[in-house]
Amino acid sequence: MAKRKAFYLYKRKKKGGAYWYVCFINPVNGRQGNAKSIDVLKEELNLGSGYRVKDRDSAAIIAGKALEAGIVYPNHIPFTSYCLSFWDYETSQYVKLRNSMRPGAIGREYCKNMTSYYTRHVAPVIGGRTRLCAVTVELLDKVISTALDRGLSTGTVQLIVLSFSVPLKEAARKRLIRMNPADYIMPVPRSGRERGVLSAQEVTALVSLIDSKGQSDRPAQAIKLALASGMRSGELRALKCEDIDLYHYLRDDGITLARIRISKSIAPYTGVKCPKNGKSRDVFIDNTFALELCSAARDDGLVFPGMKSCHMTSVALRDSFYRLLSELGIDEQMRKSRNLTFHSLRHTFNTLLLQERIPIEGRMAALGHSSMSVNLKYTHDSDCLLVDVSRLSSRILAK
């Protein structure tokens, strides 16, 4: 059977000359649509004045591009093209709308990651020609089963699902598809390995080892601050002296506390951005340690500068942490078996807070976690919780 043509081209003669028009064939019912000007389509495609319509072939190219871009039949654009465009940080209308509603809701790095997950794990299964309107539950199930068969963690598979389910949800909202097939896929349960944590004895040994390195070892000092505050890698690397309020609070045991306002983080593609959940938070540390951090800061106020770049890299922090573990007798094999990573410092801090019977409100205030059931309504209440948290921080630093 001969393949049905997607469109027909013809010329119209007018006063200013002859112009190309196209009639598209609806792929669902086979009916021919109204004529559309090739010049108008060229403008909608933003091809610019440099792209001239000389003959039938150049007109056909524009008509084909219009079909691919979804200008004519939006639900018949290739699904892969739709998803890649959806996660394009610069041009995505979805990203623009979300960030207009809540600034920083979707960052450049997140879009890059979603694009990577889709390109590596979804596109090879979906194929380049599968249309948005032709995506089925069976096809999405195949994407998930393929990822699981490859031995990917369920956490990674959940991110792969997000790379196609969010675009599909938006397509359904805009009525580009009648039914969202992602609504009917089986949920992927999270069953990844539990993050490793350091014991109280290992924390003591690690802080002593860092103190022996001196203030000049900036990655080691960042690790010490992570142990004492639960700060993330990107938050540490973005820290400046202006974020540290010295002599902020005198605790009832006579210890003076400094307040660190965590309002920035560093991401690979975005640079300086908001913290992970988009909200600032405070942590309290001993004023003595805060003074040491500020006294060794760079002239521009950056507390943990990099060797070649402006900010310290996440790789430098990670490698420094692994070297310190090795000096403590935790070699690579043991580290991997215990699943110890730089983020384990944050988990260790949270675990120690739990062992100290710090209430969940205090742990969430210090770590910046959000919950519908917890609402720190008053600044005074929040400060009191953070002061309680600081007692553990003081003991860690004193070891």
User: Which of these ranges, 88-102, 129-143, 346-360, has the smallest mean pLDDT?
Assistant: 346-360
At 382, is the pLDDT very low, low, confident or very high (cuts 50, 70, 90)? low
Pairs from 135-142 (Cβ < 8 Å, separation ≥ 24)? 135/79, 135/168, 135/177, 135/181, 136/181, 137/181, 137/184, 137/185, 139/181, 140/164, 140/181, 140/182, 140/185, 141/185, 141/186
pLDDT at 235: 93
At 118, is the pLDDT very low, low, confident or very high (cuts 50, 70, 90)? very high
Structure tokens at 300: 């521009």
Provide mean pLDDT across the span 15-19: 80
The edge-to-edge listing of strands for the beta sheet with 17-25 is: 7-14, 17-25, 32-37
Helix (H, G, I), strand (E, B) or coil at 23: strand
State the amino acid at position 21 in one-letter form.
Y
Q: Closest Cα to residue 42, out of 64, 61, 62, 23?
A: 62
Provide mean pLDDT across the span 87-112: 89
pLDDT at 308: 67
At 389, is the pLDDT very low, low, confident or very high (cuts 50, 70, 90)? confident
Structure tokens at 174: 């805009």
DSSP for 145-177? Answer: HHHHHTT--HHHHHHHHHHHHHHHHHHHHTTSS
Provide mean pLDDT across the span 143-158: 92
* Res 372 pLDDT > 60: no
Provide mean pLDDT across the span 257-272: 85
pLDDT at 3: 56
pLDDT at 242: 94
**Do 79-184 and 200-398 fold alike per CATH?**
no
- Which range of 128-137, 224-233, 382-391 scores highest in mean pLDDT? It is 224-233
Provide mean pLDDT across the span 301-317: 86
Kind and range of the H or E run holding 100: helix 93-101
* Res 57 pLDDT > 80: yes
* Res 244 pLDDT > 70: yes
pLDDT at 379: 33
Query: For 344-370, what is each residue's pLDDT tens digit?
Result: 999 898 888 888 888 777 777 777 765
At 134, is the pLDDT very low, low, confident or very high (cuts 50, 70, 90)? confident
Measure Cα distances from 340 to 197, 200, 348, 350 in Å: 7, 15, 10, 15
pLDDT > 70 in the chain, percent: 90
Residue 174 and residue 76: Cα distance in Å, rounded? 14
User: Which of these ranges, 2-6, 61-65, 77-81, 148-152, has the smallest mean pLDDT?
Assistant: 2-6
pLDDT at 1: 43
Q: Closest Cα to residue 398, out of 220, 209, 207?
A: 207
* Res 2 pLDDT > 60: no
Residue 253 and residue 145: Cα distance in Å, rounded? 57
Provide mean pLDDT across the span 106-120: 92
Q: Domain 200-398 belongs to what architecture? A: Orthogonal Bundle (1.10)
pLDDT at 28: 57
The residues spanned by each domain of the chain are: 7-72, 79-184, 200-398
Please tell me the pTM assigned to this model: 0.66
Is CATH 1.10.150.130 the classification given to domain 79-184?
Answer: yes
Residue 357 and residue 366: Cα distance in Å, rounded? 14
pLDDT at 302: 92
Provide mean pLDDT across the span 108-128: 93
Question: Checking DSSP bridges between strand 32-37 and strand 17-25, what pairing results, if any?
Answer: antiparallel
Provide mean pLDDT across the span 230-241: 93
